[in-house]
Amino acid sequence: MNNLLFSLLVLLSACGGKDSPEINPPEPVEVKWSFSPATVALSSKGETRSVIVTANGDWNVTSNQSWCGTEPGSGHNGQTSLKITATGNPQTTARTAELTFTSGNYSQNYTVSQAAGTIENHVPEGYSLVWEEEFNDERLSGGKPALPDTGKWWYENLQKGAVNNELQTYVGGYRGTDTVAAIHDGTLKIIARKSGSDIISARINTIEGWTYGYFEARLRVPGGKGTWPAFWMMPKNFTSWPLDGEIDIMEYVGYQPNVVHSTVHTEAYNHMIGTQKGATKTIQNAETAFHIYAVEWTADYIKGFVDGEAYFRFDNDGKGDKKTWPFNVPFYLKLNLAWGGDWGGAQGVDESKLPATYEIDYVRVYQK
């Protein structure tokens, strides 16, 4: 019996010898992508296009440009319909974005191009350009983006609640590492943002002033309850409000999407006594596309425009009374982004909308 057991053990040992083949894991399959169409060229106005992505594995996709996004952000083995969306191009040059598809150690790029933006000329006949700010300075200062040129602009420093019960503090471009006025990609970004326990933003003004002219800026406004961007004018030799007057070329409050306002204030006509003179206009895509806001100011009238269309007019009554027409002295231009306050915060504020960015492509002044 013992001899039989010994023989069986020897036989089993021989069957499991060192020469048995080893089982190796399969080699990873290289993931490859193909696209239809092979490239995408988008219009300057911004649009969404679909691309069929074919791959032999699961993947993710990212864009290297904030103006170009994708939906969905991932796909699987086989075909996926990918929507590529670009915002309007504010530049007068074409631009490109690279979409990077990744799967494990494999990746492949896909190029999206967008045509140069075109800007319509709405300047009335007879006017010539006398002053401009194009915000094209890309230099870094102390590691920060370029700030508005202090040869043309000056900052206001105002504490929370100093005007209109607004909730922001206005600072000179930045506080510490928090920038609120930055020039890059050809536009000025005025940013309202949290900074510690405060909300900070910028309010900048032109050093120069003008009497009469056509004043315009190409702007994209932020949305959400609490935002209150403005483009406006005040007298160079200001002493008191409302006697000295105010011209609001564009104001926007985020709780009223796509509604813009143009207004004047004088001693006789102002919002404190409910007699202000102004108008509103509903436009498309105020928060996602640039629009040109302007005012034509002459000795006889003030007209407000958006994209070349007049929607507000205030006439000089000819009485020579400063209380009704203080608009015969130099005024300067102002750009700011308020947070909350009597008007911007009339329906509360939504801090999830911070940081909020008010984008300015250019500011131009024309005179006869």
* Per-residue confidence (pLDDT) for residue 293, from 0 to 100: 99
The predicted pLDDT at position 20 comes to 56
> If you search the block for the tokens 């405060």, which residue do you land on?
198
What pLDDT score was predicted for residue 120? 84
Residue 257 DSSP symbol: T
Residues acting as catalytic residues: 246, 251
The tens-digit pLDDT sequence of the chain (368 residues) is 445 444 544 444 544 545 556 667 666 789 999 999 999 999 998 889 999 999 999 999 999 999 999 999 999 999 999 999 998 887 778 899 999 999 999 999 999 999 988 888 999 999 999 999 999 876 666 667 788 999 999 999 999 999 999 999 999 988 988 899 999 888 999 999 999 999 999 999 999 999 999 999 999 999 999 999 999 999 999 999 999 999 999 999 999 999 999 999 999 999 999 999 999 999 999 999 899 999 999 999 999 999 999 999 999 999 999 999 999 999 999 999 999 999 999 999 999 999 999 999 999 999 99
- Cβ-in-10-Å burial (0-12, 13-18, 19+) of 329 comes to middle
Query: Given this model, what pLDDT does residue 19 score?
Result: 55
Q: Which residues contact 153 (CB under 8 A, 6 or more apart)?
A: 133, 204, 205, 206, 207
The pLDDT, as a whole number, for residue 11 is: 47
CA distance 81 to 329: 60
Domains detected in the chain: 33-114 (2.60.40.10), 128-367 (2.60.120.200)
Alpha-carbon distance values, 99 to 74, 107, 113, 202 (Å): 12, 10, 11, 34
CB-based contacts of 137: which residues, under 8 Å, 6+ apart? Answer: 146, 149, 183
Query: 10 phi and psi, to 5 degrees?
Result: -65, -40
Predicted pLDDT at 45 = 83
Give, in order, the Cα–Cα distances in Å from 254 to each of 222, 258, 350.
7, 8, 10
For residue 140, what pLDDT is reported? 67
Strands 33-36 and 47-55: antiparallel
Q: Are 285 and 318 in contact (CB under 8 A)?
A: no
Residue whose entry in the numeric block shows the structure tokens 């009554």: 317
Q: Using alpha carbons, select from 98, 297, 80 the residue that is nearest to residue 210.
A: 297
3-state secondary structure of 8: helix
